[in-house]
Chain A
Amino acid sequence: MIFSLAIWILALPLMMFLFLGLAGHKLKPATAGILGTAGLGVVALLSYTVAAVYFFGPSREGGLQPEVLFSFDWLHFTDQLQVKLGFLLDPISAMMLVVVSTVSFAVHLYSNGYMHGERGFQRFYAFLSLFTFSMMGLVVATNIFQMYIFWELVGVSSYLLIGFYYEKPSAILASKKAFIVTRFADLGFLIGILVLSYYAQTFDFITLTSLEGPVIGHPVGATFLGVSVLTWALVLIFMGGAGKSAMFPLHIWLPDAMEGPTPVSALIHAATMVVAGVYLVARLFPVYVLAAPDALMVVAYTGGFTALFAAVIACTQNDIKRVLAFSTMSQLGYMMLALGVSGYGGHDGLGFMASMFHLFTHAMFKALLFLGAGAIIHAVHSNFMTDMGGLRKHLPITHITFLLACLAIAGIPPLSGFFSKDEILVAAFHSNKLLFFVAYAVSGITAFYMFRLYYNIFWGVRREYPHPPHEAPLSMSLPLMILAAATIFAGFIPFAQLVTSDGQPFEIHTEWVVAVPAVLIGLTGILVATLMYKSEKTLPDRVAAFFGPLYRWASRKFYFDELYMFITKRILFNKVSSPVAWFDRHIVDGFMNLLAYLAQRSSFLIRGLQSGHIQGYVFVFVLGAVLLSAYMLLFVTL
């Protein structure tokens, strides 16, 4: 019954995209906005219903098993090789349906106000619908190939939306950068898919992850460079995930992606698309944890390093959206770390559960932060916190919701961030002490930079603004309030009963040894930020001077953009591409040009024969005939 309606979760955004994309320019902008929002509202309701029926319906007995709602052959090559499209419902995809539809709905609603009066308003809604369709398709993919298709589709919609202001050079550059970097990572993903499916003989997720399946049940013996091919495949697949989730060293596109409109940053670059990498690892989690623990170690350390690295950079940025972007990277690293330290089944799968839990809560409060940042930018017309200050009187609703989100990300109870972060810390505590301390440090730094942001925007010196800042319209503040409610209450969702590594519920208990210091560290971070930034002082400058080169490096993002430019431009372009291009242009093309030139010259030589004088032709003909007859007479004896 309700599951048969599930196809509309995919079909409705697609239809909306086609309709708004093809006929949008004939509609009034407001109509297009309302239409898009209403469509997404229906999708959200459907998603909630499907998720609720799945989690609390009759299938609950004996653990949550994956269910394929429908599936059809899309490409049928041979009986072994076929690509299907379908709709897979299991705990994580049901959870992601809720996340994507909630954030997407909030963003659709919010954009009615934020994008009001922009050129291409209808186009914006069309792209948002395309993105929602692609993300939903990715989430419910029944096989890794379907996931790859939708994976590229979200990449395209991200590209289109980052480059929405296509007349702004920086936006164009950012969109190209995002596309190329993630595309490069997807090359690894594709190779990983091919290797994995070659050995597993299937694309299907359920078969891949089943404990008796071809991958986990009968591990592949083949090795490459001394490492099992399965590990290679999973590390390559993780490379794709790392590209989408902006893990070090493929993170460079995410800060630049902030050139897109702020609602886009909230939807794609904070809450949904960037978690696709985490989701991918979670989707193949049994394979990682049971068949290739080495690959899982790579995931854990990449996540841990990125979390720390991005958090340090976030402390030094002045563009509020970039602070949030680095914070997103850092939190994604947290989720990866949690997956990396997790075991399989029951309480051992705590890290898996914690990662998904954090994904859920993070989506809510980070979308809230971005939408809040959008409201602030809308009011102040600047992205830089140096242009802000003392806004708490002007933007009361934004202020309160932003504060809630900051407290949540800092891990202060009873907000949602506390619960999910605490589970991650517990999981790390029980498996890897090094990563545990990294996670502790990151949580302190996170609290510090979030409150640095908060104080610089809402407190500090009161500036004179060219226009007095005003609170956002209802269409913008309503999504803020919805997400704030989600931020407050999401922590009480019993995730351990719902989303676990093997579908079996388990009991969690708060470990005070871990939780209390975590909260204290968060509070310390907040306290330091309060001392430094609550009122304008010289202290921040002195601290920056104290850290000296470290501060300078961090504020320049550790020169990674410059390093990549050096590698691509100086080494790849100059030393590899240019000689190859020269060879192609001069040797390969030159040979072809030579052939054409020779043919042309020789035809010039003989074209005089075609004189048009019939008598000339006759003369040659007769001459030929005479010569031929003479030859026959003299040399051929009949």
Chain B
Amino acid sequence: MDVPVHFFLMLSAAMFFIGVFGFIIRRNMITLLMAVELMLNAVNINFVVFNRFLYPDYFEGFFFALFAIAIAAAETSVAIAIIINVYRKIRSIEADDVAEMKH
């Protein structure tokens, strides 16, 4: 119980920006999905940490984290479905190849 709160926050910030970096840099859509998961989990850590340190008698932060995990699972399944369909259509899961919504 001696770990100070900013250690956790630094961890979550590092995870979040690794996710952002990965999301911008990587080309494979599956990897992009993984980057999104990283960001979501960074947020989950924040929820839990703040709940634990600020309001130890309440549980909303934990519940929010649980919600986020459930929704992330659903979102991932939708995203995978989309990626599979994109693959069927253009035989590629490279993000640069899916650039039809331009000018």
Contacts and interface: CB of A to CB of B under 8 A. Distances in A.
Nearest to B100: A612
Interface string B72-103: 00000000000000000000000110111111
A467 interface: no
Contacts of B98: 614
Residue of B23, B24, B32, B95 contacting most chain A CB atoms (<10 Å): B24
Contacts of B101: 612
Nearest to B32: A615
A611 interface: yes
A618 B96 CA distance: 13
Nearest to A625: B20
A612 B99 contact: yes
B21 to A, nearest CB: 9
Contacts of B95: 613-615
How big is the A interface, by class? 10 to 19
Nearest to A603: B103
A614 B82 CA distance: 15
A613 B100 CA distance: 9
A4 interface: no
Contact of B102 (A611, A615, A618): A611
Given A618-B23, A622-B20, A622-B24, A613 B96 contact: yes
A610 interface: yes
Most buried by B among A608, A615, A619, A622: A615
28 contacts: A607-B103, A608-B103, A610-B102, A610-B103, A611-B99, A611-B102, A611-B103, A612-B99, A612-B100, A612-B101, A612-B102, A612-B103, A613-B95, A613-B96, A613-B99, A613-B102, A614-B95, A614-B98, A615-B23, A615-B24, A615-B32, A615-B95, A618-B20, A618-B23, A618-B24, A619-B24, A622-B20, A622-B24
A610 B99 CA distance: 10
Q: How large is the interface on B (under 10, 10 to 19, 20 to 34, 35 or more residues)?
A: 10 to 19
A610 B24 CA distance: 17
B90 to A, nearest CB: 13
Q: Which of A610, A613, A614 has the most CB of B within 10 A?
A: A614
A41 B12 CA distance: 103
A410 B10 CA distance: 121
Contacts of A608: 103
Contacts of A618: 20, 23-24
A589 to B, nearest CB: 29
Interface string B5-42: 00000000000000010011000000010000000000
Interface string B56-86: 0000000000000000000000000000000
Interface in A379-412: none
Contacts of A615: 23-24, 32, 95
A198 B41 CA distance: 84
Interface in A196-231: none
A606 to B, nearest CB: 10
Contacts of B103: 607-608, 610-612
Nearest to A608: B103
A622 B16 CA distance: 12
Contacts of A614: 95, 98
A611 B101 CA distance: 8
Interface string A601-638: 00000011011111100110010000000000000000
Given A608-B103, A612-B99, 10 more contacts: A610-B102, A611-B102, A611-B103, A612-B100, A612-B101, A612-B102, A615-B23, A618-B23, A619-B24, A622-B24
Contacts of B23: 615, 618
Contacts of A622: 20, 24
A376 B85 CA distance: 88
A613 B97 CA distance: 9
Contacts of A611: 99, 102-103
Nearest to B95: A615
Contacts of B32: 615
B16 to A, nearest CB: 10
A622 B101 CA distance: 20
Nearest to A616: B24
A107 B31 CA distance: 94
B24 to A, nearest CB: 5
A615 B101 CA distance: 13
Interface in A561-612: 607-608, 610-612
B23 to A, nearest CB: 6
Contacts of A613: 95-96, 99, 102
A610 B102 CA distance: 5
A273 to B, nearest CB: 64
Q: Which 4 A-B pairs have the closest CB atoms?
A: A612-B102, A612-B99, A610-B103, A607-B103
Contacts of B102: 610-613
A614 B24 CA distance: 9
A622 B98 CA distance: 21
A614 B96 CA distance: 8
Nearest to A613: B99
Contacts of A612: 99-103
A615 B36 CA distance: 12
A618 B20 CA distance: 9
A618 B95 CA distance: 13
A612 B102 CA distance: 4
A610 B101 CA distance: 8
A613 B20 CA distance: 15
